[in-house]
Structure 1
Amino acid sequence: MSTRIPPFSSQHLEAACRVLADTERGLSGTQIGYLLQDIRVPDADANNTKWKRLFNALAQMQNQHQVGNHLILFINSAMNPVSYARDREAFIWRRDELNVVLAFSGFYVRDDGKVGRADKATTLDVARARVGRLKAALEARAVHEEVVKYCRAELLSENYFHAVFEATKGIAARIRNLSGLNGDGADLVAKAFLGQSPMLAVGPLATESEKSEQKGFANLLIGLFGAVRNPLAHATKIDWPMSEQDALDILTMVSLMHRKLDVTRKINP
């Protein structure tokens, strides 16, 4: 993150350091020293407790340079998924707890360990909801990873309107990748899945039932674009309210379509 980030408040910086240096689930003292060295931040208080040591090091750089970039750099380095190859639970705990405190500053930790931007939370309930309720609801439905890939930032900021919009755009992008076609919406689906010689097939297409499934899947895709994606592309959030329940239901349908696309094969160059 190369852009200048305003300094974090003392409370926000402390909260993040307490998570990163948590007594039971946080980084070890050795790890903190290595990571500070990695981002070229002086470790001037190495004998202090872990969270105070980290806080003092980052606060000193923040005061000296009047930017908050050093906390982001530290988190990006500390949350590198490679470091958690044998301890996924530690990654999940630190990411989720960091996302609660970072929400108040307008940031969040993505699944790749990098920090991204999100709308600022103003209450603890909102901050916790981004990590707890939404995450649990999606995981309970076993939503396909391709769904969240396209709308993670929007979900974290509870922007259901744009989350659904981005997720449906992701379906079109995947069809283009699988088929090599250009275009969008119903026209793209028709060229890829319909006609006597479709480019993509969800099954062998040897029986009438298999051909019917192919046509039905294509119609589902066309319906998604017609009933959801196209209206959202032309409407405003105010004129087209999107509840959490509606968003989760639509994202579940998008998930089903991605699972069908998982087994789709290209049959016509």
Structure 2
Amino acid sequence: MAIIKKFELASLESICNILGNTENGLTGSQISKYLSECDIYDPQLNSTKRKKLYDALEQKQNNDRCSNNIISFIQHVMKPSRHFDNQEWFLDMRKKLNFVLSFEGLELEETGLIRQIKATTTLSEAEARAQQLRKTLMDRKIHNDVLHFCKAELLVDNYFHAVFEATKSIAEKIRMKTNLTSDGAELIDQAFSFKGKIPYLALSYLKTENDESEQKGFMNLLKGVFGTFRNTTAHAPKITWNINEQDALDILSTISLIHRKLDKALEPKKMYEGK
């Protein structure tokens, strides 16, 4: 790994506050264990978790004159296989860490590895961007479930994560309405397919050829959105998949339409089983 400049102390402090958070951060024993495994000396100057962690990491990067071992420590803590039984914690912690790391020009990927990206500018810029996007979408009467993703922390760099999270919300709503557990195209087929069986969800009573065509078309739309936006954003490097404001508005408008359709969808399987 190339030599990475030292973290700003404000960034380092925020990272330690996240990892050492009283409610959902690492335990004291975990912090001691991971520091030891990464050969980072614990001066034991403070008793609180966040201060203990800050003292150790700040001293380490001062001695090294770079942040390489701090990055290695974060990667060690955030190794996905370590959190196989607590994915929600991993995702939440990764999101918070990335908000801070972006100011250092870094991003923690789903693999648990940290890579370099274009550094974030300011919080006020991200907040202004979020407010403007939200206002424009409200003018378009966008679905409330989409407005939820117009947050500053999702727009620190560009509109990438807002689109990614909003797209994921479609699958989540389908799962909530059907109790299915699959994802992607498989989830769509299970939820909407009607040939020879009663579908979980339907846009109409499927009595005519036009009704059936609409159902098939909606299934294709869902698969297209997943394939074009969610799968791409999940696997393409963020820095090479730039989404500008106009792209975001158009994508989020499409997602809004889908949410409205899902809200109004009939639930034939539940109706049938309830008889």
- TM-score > 0.5, shorter chain as reference: yes
1:245 aligns with 2:249: yes
The 1-side partners of 2:28 and 2:42 are apart by: 11
8 Å Cα contact 2:45-2:55 kept in structure 1: no
- SS at structure 1 position matched to 2:121: coil
Amino acid at match of 2:247: S
> CA–CA distance in 1 between the matches of 2:235 and 2:247?
19
Match of 1:39 in 2: 38
Q: CA distance change for structure 1 residues 21 and 101 in 2, over 3 Å: closer, same or farther?
A: same
Deviation at 1:148, TM superposition (A): 2.6
Is the counterpart of residue 137 in structure 1 residue 166 in structure 2? yes
Q: Paired residue for 1:67?
A: 66
SS in 2 for 1:83: helix
Which residue of structure 1 aligns with residue 242 of structure 2? 159
| Offset, 1:129 | 2.0
1:223-251 CA-partner distances (Å, limit 9, x unpaired): xxxxxxxxxxxxxxxxxx96323567899
Partner of 2:83: 84
Q: 1:137 to 1:149 in 2, by over 3 A?
A: closer
2:100 is matched with 101
| CA distance, structure 2, for counterparts of residue 135 and residue 146 of structure 1 | 9
Q: List runs of 5+ in structure 2 lacking aligned partners.
A: 127-151, 172-225, 256-275
The aligned counterpart of 2:153 is 128
Q: Which runs of 4+ in 1 moved over 6 A?
A: 247-251
Query: How much has 1:146 moved relative to structure 2?
Result: 3.8
Partner Cα distance (2:40, 2:70) in 1: 10
For residues 248 and 74 of structure 1, the distance between their equivalents in structure 2, rounded to whole angstroms, comes to 37
State the Cα distance separating 1:87 from its structure 2 match.
Answer: 0.9
Give the CA deviation at 1:70.
1.9
- CA separation in 1, counterparts of 2:251 and 2:6? 35
Aligned to 1:21: 20
- Write the letter of the residue equivalent to 2:28: G
Q: What is the CA–CA distance in structure 2 between the aligned matches of 1:51 and 1:63, rounded to whole Å?
A: 18
For residues 24-67 of structure 1, the C-alpha deviation after alignment (integer angstroms, 9 at most, x for no partner) is: 11111111111111111111117521111111111111111110
1:160 partner SS: coil
1:160 and 1:247 in contact (8 A); partners too? no
Distance 1:46 1:35 in 2: 17
Which deviates more from structure 2 when the two are superposed, residues 7-16 or residues 117-126? 117-126
TM-score (norm 1): 0.56
Contact 1:106 1:118 in 2 (8 A): yes
| DSSP 3-state at the match of 2:40 | coil
For the residue of structure 1 that corresponds to 2:236, the secondary structure is helix
Map 1:106-255 → 2, pairs under 5 A: 106-124=105-123, 126=126, 128-130=153-155, 133-142=162-171, 143-144=226-227, 146-154=231-239, 159-160=242-243, 243-246=247-250
Q: Are the equivalent residues in 1 in contact too, given 2:3–2:66 (CA < 8 A)?
A: yes
**What is the Cα-based RMSD across aligned positions, in Å?**
2.8
Moved more, 130-139 or 82-91: 130-139
Query: Residues 77 and 13 from structure 1, CA distance in 2 versus in 1: closer, same or farther, beyond 3 angstroms?
Result: same
Q: Describe the shift of the 1:58–1:123 C-alpha distance in structure 2 as closer, same or farther (beyond 3 A).
A: same
Paired amino acid for 1:245: L
Contact 1:5/1:67, CA 8 A, preserved across alignment: yes
**CA distance in 1 between partners of 2:237 and 2:249 (Å):** 17
- In 1, the alpha carbon distance for the partners of 2:72 and 2:58 equals 13
Ranges in structure 1 where 5+ consecutive residues have no aligned partner: 162-240, 252-269
Matched with 2:199 is none
The Cα of 1:130 is off from its aligned counterpart by 4.0
